[in-house]
Amino acid sequence: MSHLGRTTEPDKRTLRRELLAVRSRLTADDVQEAADALAECALRLPELAEARTVAAYVSVGAEPGTLALLDALHARGTRVLLPVLLADNDLDWGAYAGRGSLARVQHGGKMALFEPSGERLGPDAVTRADVVLLPGLAVDARGMRLGRGGGSYDRVLARLERTGAQPSLVVLLYDAEVVARVPEEAHDRPVHAVVTPSGARRFGSGR
């Protein structure tokens, strides 16, 4: 795979397939063990300790688990916003009020998602977050993140840039998903930190 200059979407698709294949071999115990360690490491991150509002998401399938982290943040008194997938793949937001506030929503032929069942706060609610936790499949040594390709978080990042919001951007991954380099396109923006089950790493000047 070439990483010279601008890469193409097929490069990203190839890497996504490889990474998803590795995740598919994880057992439920693997996922749960990693989720507990991920929450412990994330909660030590100063950005999360100081945040009043955190935009996060509910993990599904073999994604690095987030529920333990969401519960811990909520118990701390941190306001946690969770996404609601809209028909055009943009994201609305709602507040997390514990696991009982989640509803399982099937979006067409896509994977079912767990979304907040309460009041919708609008797509711009994310601009008031101090930290945005991002899903992904990999991040490289420059902080460039590889997403799943749906485009929802590209819209979120564009909205943050457009409004001048500057939250800390943190991607949650497995240890092996921190790689030397991921394919990059002109619209891609680096994250500030990655948290994995074994610890956290900052990129660039950090926060």
pLDDT at 30 over 70: yes
* Most confident among 25-29, 186-190, 200-204 (mean pLDDT): 25-29
Of the pLDDT bands very low, low, confident and very high (cuts 50, 70, 90), residue 112 is confident
Residue 69 to residue 126: CA distance in whole angstroms = 18
Backbone angles phi, psi at 203, to 5 degrees: -120, 150
pLDDT of residue 188: 79
Are 175 and 139 in contact by the 8 Å Cβ rule? The answer is no
∠ CA(11), CA(12), CA(16), 5° rounding? 125
pLDDT of residue 6: 47
Radius of gyration, CA atoms only, the chain: 16
Are 47 and 73 in contact by the 8 Å Cβ rule? The answer is no
Q: Which residue has the tokens 């819209």?
A: 155
pLDDT of residue 105: 92
Are 89 and 151 in contact by the 8 Å Cβ rule? The answer is yes
Are 82 and 56 in contact by the 8 Å Cβ rule? The answer is yes
pLDDT of residue 185: 80
Instruction: Label the pairing between strands 102-105 and 113-116.
Output: antiparallel
pLDDT digits (tens, 9 = 90+) for 134-147: 999 999 999 999 98
Picking from 95, 91, 71, 74, the residue whose alpha carbon sits closest to that of residue 83 is 91
pLDDT digits (tens, 9 = 90+) for 100-109: 999 999 887 7
Sign of torsion, CA 78 62 40 191?
A: negative
Of the pLDDT bands very low, low, confident and very high (cuts 50, 70, 90), residue 10 is low
The CATH architecture to which 9-202 belongs is: 3-Layer(aba) Sandwich (3.40)
pLDDT at 186 over 80: no
What's the predicted TM-score (pTM) here? Answer: 0.91
Of the pLDDT bands very low, low, confident and very high (cuts 50, 70, 90), residue 1 is very low
The rounded percent of the chain whose pLDDT value lies above 90 is 79
Of the pLDDT bands very low, low, confident and very high (cuts 50, 70, 90), residue 9 is low
Alpha carbon 200 to chain centroid distance? 14
Are 89 and 150 in contact by the 8 Å Cβ rule? The answer is yes
